[in-house]
Structure 1
C-alpha cells in the first residue's frame, strides 16, 4: 500500500525542481489530480487526521524520495549504499528512513582511533571531501593527529542500518506518483 499523503517544502526558490512554496497532497477518492498509478490526490492546506500524516514526516520522506527521483533520472546505475554524517545522521528514525526509502544499507563515517570508531568527529563531511580531493591529486596524506603524533588515523564507514524490504517496496511503488506530484507542484509554483 502506497503512502496516502505527500508534502513538498520549498521555502526559497528551489532549482530542482524549479519551485517555491509549500504543497501538500492527500489521497482521496474524489481527488482531482490523477497520478500514474491511478491514485487520486487533492491538494490541501494541512494534512487531515484521516491522512495520519504530519509535516515532519513529509519533509523527511520528501527529501529522500526526491533523491531517488533525481538519482534515477541520472541513470547512474544501482545505488549500493549511503554514507551519512552530521547531526541529523545520528537520528535512528532518519537512518531508517534513508535505508527504507533508498533501499540501501546505511553507513556512518568515522575516524578509527585506538579507542574505537569516533562518529562524533567534527566536520566529517568537509574532512572527507578534503581527503578525497587530496587522493585525486595524488598528494600523500599525513594522517597523524596533532594531539597524538605517533598514532595513525584511518577513516572508516561503519554499517549502522539495514533496509526493511517491505517498507522499501511501499516507497518504490509510490515513487512514480511522488514524481508526478513533485512536477505538479513545480508547474503550479511557476504559474502562480
Structure 2
C-alpha cells in the first residue's frame, strides 16, 4: 500500500467547517474538535483556512513532554497524549510552534489531531479530508503531491510551511501557490 499524506490547499477553503463536524465523529475523539478553521481577516473578507496538526517529523510537543506521553505512530502521525502517562504539565501546548495541542482542564489531558489514526493506518483518508467539499484537504500519494507541485513554478522553498525556523519537516504538506502567485482559483 502506497503511503499517503494529508495535503492542504489553503486557498480552496470556503469556510464551511465540514472538517470540524467530521473531526468530532472520528473514533476515539470523544466528540471533540481536534482541528480548527481560522478566519484570516474577519473584518475585511471571508477568507478562512483550516488549522490542524502538521505531524512534525521531530515534533516539539513530544520533545517537550517529560512523561513521554506523546507517541509517534509508525505512519508518522503524532498522537494525542496517552491518558495513563499525561501529567497535565502543558509543556506540549507551549512548545508547539503552530499552537495545535489543546488542554482539557476537566480531564487534565492534552488532545490534538491524531490524523484519524484508526483510519489512516489502514490507508483510509482522515475524516476531515473525506468530507471536504472544496478539495482544501486531500489525501494524496507523494507522486500526486509532486504532480501538483510541478503545476506551479514556485520552487521547494515556498511550497510548504515547514521551514527550518519553524519546526523542520512535517508529514502534512501545505501549499500556497494561488496566494503566492496572486491568482484566484476555485478548487
TM norm. shorter chain > 0.5: no
Q: Which has the higher contact order (CA 8 A, sep 6+)?
A: 2
More strand by share: 1
Structure 2-normalised TM-score? Answer: 0.23
Structure 1-normalised TM-score? Answer: 0.23
More helix by share: 1
